Amino acid sequence: MAKILAFGPFWRDPASLAEPVGRRVAAVAEDLRSDTLFVALTRPQMFAGVTYSFFVINMIVAVELFLVFKSPWVLLAAVLVHLGGMIASLREPRVVDLWLTRVRHCPRVKNHDHWQCNSYRP
């Protein structure tokens, strides 16, 4: 019978500690499955590869610029912005919504130029 070691809240078999970390991670990754229903229910509403809010904002800006400049180049720029949004949404679908939330709720403080971050100490 193997001796069990306790490390904080985790129980480990000493034999498993002798394995390289990469093999343990690979073994755990093999056991993971992605359930399509779970993924579909946790993703935001998507339209043409981007979130619906990004699509609506992009289309509103494109239509306004098209009405102002009356140039078809604006439509090409909107397609390029949409492709950029698709590439950004590949890894994390909510990247635009997360960025908008960060901009809205984490404004820069007065000493941001000194510390290059939001530090509330002088």
What are 71-108's pLDDT values in tens digits? 989 999 999 999 999 999 888 888 888 888 888 888 88
Q: What range does the domain containing 42 cover? A: 33-115
DSSP codes joined into one string, 11-34: EE-HHHHTS-HHHHHHHHHHH---
Would residue 4 count as lying in a domain? no
Would residue 26 count as lying in a domain? no
Average pLDDT, the chain: 79
Would residue 28 count as lying in a domain? no
**Rounded (to 5) percent helix, strand, coil in the chain:** 60, 10, 35
pTM above 0.75, yes or no: no
